[in-house]
């Protein structure tokens, strides 16, 4: 298999399996694909400050490297964020992930902040796992959403970028169809506009497959954590896992299937959900963030109280 552009050895076929490319031409193609995604979907404007969440895994590390290359051309400022969640599980998962994130911040020269959950909020995910009855990944997701937003705002960011990829998005779309959760589908956006005091959230890799991201990371020698979190069970559990495998098998049979599924959802289907009645929001009496109107405090503050042993009610 030879590169269609220069005839040297190809490393991957892209564009619905029709375009074999060598490492150099693939890297160029991948970077311009991410750039086109950012521009076409109005993800980032000139002079904005983008906080990029970097866990140390392949997706977020690749996103950091590509955004740092695009930042001058597209005229935005970039700041890296890593949260040390305090997950050990016998593998020192969090401290190794944080070390990997720092390595990538230093390689790209992007200014960054590492927040240690235990030091800043008084508890770790390992501790929450043993004391909170909800599934650990649900607690962890809640913590990451809240803390990333706080850190990004503290660093002056007005956009928060995450490394969700095409396979993740296809899985979320399918899971939404499967459960019929329209509110969840309505929130599943490549660009979530700033509202209710929250930052704009963007997913610049949402049309890039895991295979493309992995190839880019390997070809560009981007260091990343190979080991997954010891709690790793995809959010949504075994059904979501099966949906993901089914989608990946279908992609092998019908190249471009996931791209069409996700692009058609984003452009043609999701806009129908925009008129769905929204939840009535109240204000958390502790942190002032939006919360369901039937609750006085938000889920994160409730978690913090429970972990700190305070006496308020926790739901
Ligand atoms: Fe958090 Fe679960 Fe992801 Fe581990 S697998 S980092 S616990 S969401
Ligand atoms: Zn080539
Ligand atoms: Zn709160």
DSSP for 296-310, please give it: SS-HHHHHHHHHHT-
Taken in order of first residue, the domains within the chain and their CATH numbers are 27-277 (3.40.50.620), 279-315 (no CATH)
Q: Which residue CA neighbors atom 8 of ligand 1 most closely?
A: 137
Which pLDDT band holds residue 233 (cuts at 50, 70, 90)? low
- In this model, does residue 311 exceed pLDDT 70? no
* Encoded tokens for 247: 């989608």
Q: What ipTM was predicted for this assembly?
A: 0.97
* List of E strands, the chain: 12-14, 19-21, 49-53, 77-84, 111-116, 159-161, 191-192, 200-202, 281-283, 290-292
Ligand nearest to the CA of 129: 1
Look at strands 290-292 and 200-202 and give their pairing.
unpaired
**Å from CA of 27 to ligand 2 middle:** 10
Please tell me the number of the ligand nearest to residue 231's CA: 1
Structure tokens at 87: 């997950």
pLDDT tens track for 277-306: 777 788 999 999 988 878 899 999 999 999
* 181-207 mean pLDDT: 94
- pLDDT exceeds 90 at position 147: yes
Annotated binding-site residues for ATP read: 53-55, 59, 83, 163, 168
Q: Could you give phi then psi for residue 82, rounded to 5 degrees?
A: -130, 140
pLDDT at 236: 61
Tell me the C-alpha distance between 57 and 223, whole Å: 9
CA 26 / ligand 1 centre spacing (Å):
31
Q: Whose CA is nearest to atom 5 of ligand 1?
A: 232
> Rounded distance, CA 57 to CA 6, Å?
31
**Ligand 1 atom at shortest distance from the alpha carbon of 137:** 2
Enter the tokens of residue 246: 């089914």
Report, in this order, helix, strand and coil percent for the chain, each rounded to 5: 50, 15, 35
Residues lining ligand 1, judged by CB closer than 6 Å? Answer: 87, 125, 136-137, 140-141, 229, 231-232
Ligand 3 center–CA 138 separation, angstroms = 17
Determine the average pLDDT of the residues in 116-138: 95
In terms of pTM, does the model score above 0.90?
Answer: yes
Dig out the tokens for 303 from the structure. Answer: 């978690």
| Low-confidence winner among 122-126, 150-154, 250-254, 310-314 (lowest mean pLDDT) | 310-314
**Confidence class for position 265, pLDDT limits 50, 70, 90:** very high
Phi, psi of 292 (to 5 degrees): -55, 140
Report pLDDT for 234.
53
- 165 token code pair: 């990829």
Q: Return the ligand number nearest the Cα of 304.
A: 3
Query: What is the per-residue DSSP string for 270-294?
Result: GGGGGGSPPPPEEE-TTT--EEETT
Helix (H, G, I), strand (E, B) or coil at 180: coil
Confidence check: pLDDT of 72 > 50 = yes
């Amino acid at each position: 298999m030879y590169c269609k552009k220069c005839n040297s050895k190809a490393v991957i076929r892209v564009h619905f399996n029709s375009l074999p490319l060598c490492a150099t031409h693939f890297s160029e193609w991948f970077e311009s694909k991410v750039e086109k995604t950012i521009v076409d979907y109005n993800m980032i404007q000139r002079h904005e400050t983008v906080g990029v969440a970097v866990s140390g895994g392949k997706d977020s590390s690749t996103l950091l490297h590509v955004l740092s290359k695009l930042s001058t051309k597209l005229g935005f400022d970039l700041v890296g964020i890593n949260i040390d969640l305090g997950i050990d599980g016998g593998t020192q998962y969090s401290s190794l992930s944080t070390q990997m994130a720092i390595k990538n911040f230093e390689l790209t020269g992007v200014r960054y902040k590492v927040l240690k959950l235990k030091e800043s909020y008084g508890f770790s995910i390992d501790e929450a796992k043993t004391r909170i009855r909800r599934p650990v990944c649900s607690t962890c997701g809640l913590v990451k959403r809240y803390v990333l937003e706080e850190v990004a705002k503290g660093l002056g960011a007005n956009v928060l970028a995450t490394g969700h990829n095409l396979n993740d998005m296809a899985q979320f779309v399918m899971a939404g169809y499967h459960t019929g959760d329209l509110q969840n589908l309505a929130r599943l956006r490549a660009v979530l506009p700033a509202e209710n005091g929250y930052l704009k959230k963007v997913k610049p890799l949402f049309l890039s497959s895991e295979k493309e991201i992995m190839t880019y990371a390997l070809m560009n020698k981007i260091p990343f954590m190979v080991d997954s979190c010891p709690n790793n069970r995809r959010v949504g559990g075994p059904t979501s896992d099966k949906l993901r495998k089914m989608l990946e098998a279908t992609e092998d049979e019908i190249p471009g299937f996931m791209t069409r599924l996700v692009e058609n959802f984003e452009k043609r289907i999701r806009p129908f959900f925009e008129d769905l009645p929204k939840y009535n929001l109240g204000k958390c009496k502790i942190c002032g963030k939006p919360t369901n109107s039937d609750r006085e405090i938000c889920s994160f503050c409730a978690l913090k109280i429970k972990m700190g042993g305070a006496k308020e009610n926790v739901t």
